[in-house]
Amino acid sequence: MSTAAQPVPTETTGAKLAPSVLIADDQPHILDALELLLEPEGYRIEKATSPYMVLDALKCNSFDALLLDLNYTRDTTSGREGLDLLSQIRSHESQLPVIIMTAWANVDLAVEAMRRGASDFIQKPWDNARLLTILRTQIDLSNAVRRTQRLEAENRLLRAANLPEMIATAAIMQPVLTTITRIGPSDASVLITGEHGTGKEVVAQTLHALSSRASRSMVAVNTGALPEGTFESELFGHVKGAFTDARTERIGRFELAEGGTLFLDEIANVPMRQQSKLLRVLETGEMERVGSSKTRRVNVRIISATNADIRKEVEAGNFRADLLFRLNTVEIHLPPLRERREDIPPLAAHFLSRYAQRYRKQVQGIDQAAMDLMLHYAWPGNVRELDHTIERAVLMSREDIIDVTDLGLSPARVSTQALEEMSLESVESILIRKALSRCNGNVSQAAEALGLSRGALYRRMEKYGI
């Protein structure tokens, strides 16, 4: 009697669900027999009877393993259909365990299947115990590989000096970091959404740095800024003489990113006419340079970003739904800085250190009133605006501590609710600094503007270290 397999919970959900197995065979009785064998062992089963159904199922769902027949056309025994299907699957699903099944097994076919990426090989009629053992072993191995990749990604994210700085201590950012570490090692297409200045390109750089493509280039292109007339040339390249100004051959961004990552920023702004051309490359991995009939294969990971509500653009008919489907295998949404205020102090300290070193200024910190103002400021430009604000403050500072006047922030951007949350001392300190700034440092004029005596103002200035 065979020992019952002990399925391992799927790694894709983290919940204790039974592993899911896709079974592909053109004969219904084979599918039924495998279902009767596997379901009592705790596996969830989905069936496919053609290569098209296999690819469609893999697009729509995640599986822990695939049992794949090699023949689907009647009277065909070469296994060619299954081998070609295996190659297609491997171009998109590098980690999925694929176990080949065929009644026409031979050494050459087995070798070719393994060469194309099969995880193991089963001959029909199969031995139940062997099939269960192979299936369990391959799922265990796949889960172990994914766990190792996630741990490596987390360690690289925490320790690697060459990674872009990702400062995110706020609770709202923790799901973002978790997603980055989980999908970083994969080749999954990622769509990053969020307002201008939230750090979408930093996330793209981090995903690239965590991937197996990190040794190759990440090529960034602002697709929304490309004129429609040069869109194809920029992305796909052109041959000499393709159009009037094509005096030399040009390599496009897809080819420049070969083996690496292509970051398509402002993707929602791509004109509708160009979206179909972009979709074709994403679907087939094939493209032609402008003016050439030679098809080239490209191997790139696509990461895209937008600040627009791209689903509304789809509903409005401005963006293709099938292109969005290709782009957002995983979606990461970055919250605005006003929703992650806990990150303002560490971000400000990071930018301060960077610009003090760059401009060789002996600026060592930020006073409390200035920090209070930053904590309650609206930050319409998000992290990018904070970056620029600290750079300006470092350049403008006359002391070794940045104060409110160095920041140059508009009080109008501090909400009434924010002022209500601030202490009386913080508000008073900000008002005094603003008054002194308006009066060019003249204490008498500032005191008069504030309705204070000169002595009272001096006492408050001493209290707040002004």
**Separation in Å, CA 38 to CA 18, 131, 217:** 11, 10, 44
CA dihedral of residues 408, 412, 416, 417 (deg, nearest 10): -50
Tell me: do 228 and 319 sit in the same domain: yes
CATH code of the domain containing 353: 1.10.8.60
State the residue range of the domain holding 165: 160-335
Lowest-confidence pick of 133-137, 175-179, 236-240: 236-240
Q: Which of 304, 335, 366 is the last residue of a domain?
A: 335
Tell me: do 189 and 278 sit in the same domain: yes
Tell me: do 128 and 168 sit in the same domain: no
Torsion sign over Cα 89, 90, 95, 96: positive
Tell me the Ramachandran region of residue 230: left when phi exceeds 0, alpha when psi lies from -120 to 50, beta otherwise. Answer: alpha
Q: How far apart are CA 457 and CA 428, in angstroms?
A: 11
pLDDT, one tens digit per residue, over 308-356 is 999 999 999 999 999 999 999 999 999 999 999 999 999 999 999 999 9
Strands 401-402 and 65-69: unpaired
Q: Which residues of 241-278 are buried (b: 16+ CB within 10 A; e: fewer)?
A: ebeeebeeebebbbbbbbebbbbbbbbbbbeeeebeeb
**Positions of E strands within 214-287:** 218-222, 237-238, 250-251, 261-265, 286-287
Q: How far apart are CA 289 and CA 153, in angstroms?
A: 36
392: phi then psi, degrees, rounded to nearest 5:
-60, -45
Cα radius of gyration rounded to whole Å, the chain: 30
Residue 2 lies in a domain: no
Residue 307 CA to chain centroid, in angstroms?
14
Tell me: do 253 and 343 sit in the same domain: no
Tell me: do 311 and 432 sit in the same domain: no
Residue 155 lies in a domain: no
Q: What confidence tier does 422 reach under pLDDT thresholds 50, 70, 90?
A: low
**Is the N-terminal amide bond of 125 cis, ω within 30° of 0?**
yes
Half-sphere exposure of residue 111: CA atoms within 13 angstroms, side-chain side: 3
CA dihedral of residues 76, 80, 85, 91 (deg, nearest 10): 180
Contact yes or no for 22/58 (Cβ under 8 A): yes
Amino acid, res. 370: A
CATH code of the domain containing 89: 3.40.50.2300
Tell me: do 169 and 316 sit in the same domain: yes
DSSP 8-class letter at 50: S
Torsion sign over Cα 344, 350, 353, 359: negative
Residue 8 lies in a domain: no
Tell me: do 132 and 247 sit in the same domain: no
Q: List, in sequence order, every residue forming a beta bridge with 237; answer none if it has no partner.
A: 251
Tell me: do 276 and 351 sit in the same domain: no
Residue 10 lies in a domain: no
Torsion sign over Cα 112, 113, 114, 120: negative
Residue 114 lies in a domain: yes
pLDDT, one tens digit per residue, over 3-26 is 344 444 433 333 356 889 999 998
Tell me: do 316 and 179 sit in the same domain: yes
Q: How far apart are CA 31 and CA 25, in angstroms?
A: 7
User: What integer best gives the mean pLDDT of the chain?
Assistant: 84
| Number of separate domains in the chain | 3
Tell me: do 327 and 392 sit in the same domain: no
Residue 154 lies in a domain: no
pTM summary value: 0.59
Percentage of residues in the chain having pLDDT higher than 90: 42
Question: In sequence order, what DSSP letters do the residues of 292-347 get, joined into one string?
Answer: ----EE---EEEEEESS-HHHHHHTTSS-HHHHHHH-SEEEEPPPGGG-GGGHHHH
Lowest-confidence pick of 171-185, 221-235, 310-324, 424-438: 424-438
Contact yes or no for 402/393 (Cβ under 8 A): yes
Residue 4 lies in a domain: no
Tell me: do 360 and 439 sit in the same domain: yes
Half-sphere exposure of residue 404: CA atoms within 13 angstroms, side-chain side: 25
Torsion sign over Cα 455, 457, 463, 466: negative
Q: Which of 319, 335, 351 is the last residue of a domain?
A: 335
Q: What confidence tier does 69 reach under pLDDT thresholds 50, 70, 90?
A: confident
Is pLDDT of 153 > 60?
no
CATH code of the domain containing 239: 3.40.50.300
25: phi then psi, degrees, rounded to nearest 5:
-160, 145
Averaged pLDDT for residues 275-289: 91
Residue 307 lies in a domain: yes
Tell me: do 196 and 319 sit in the same domain: yes
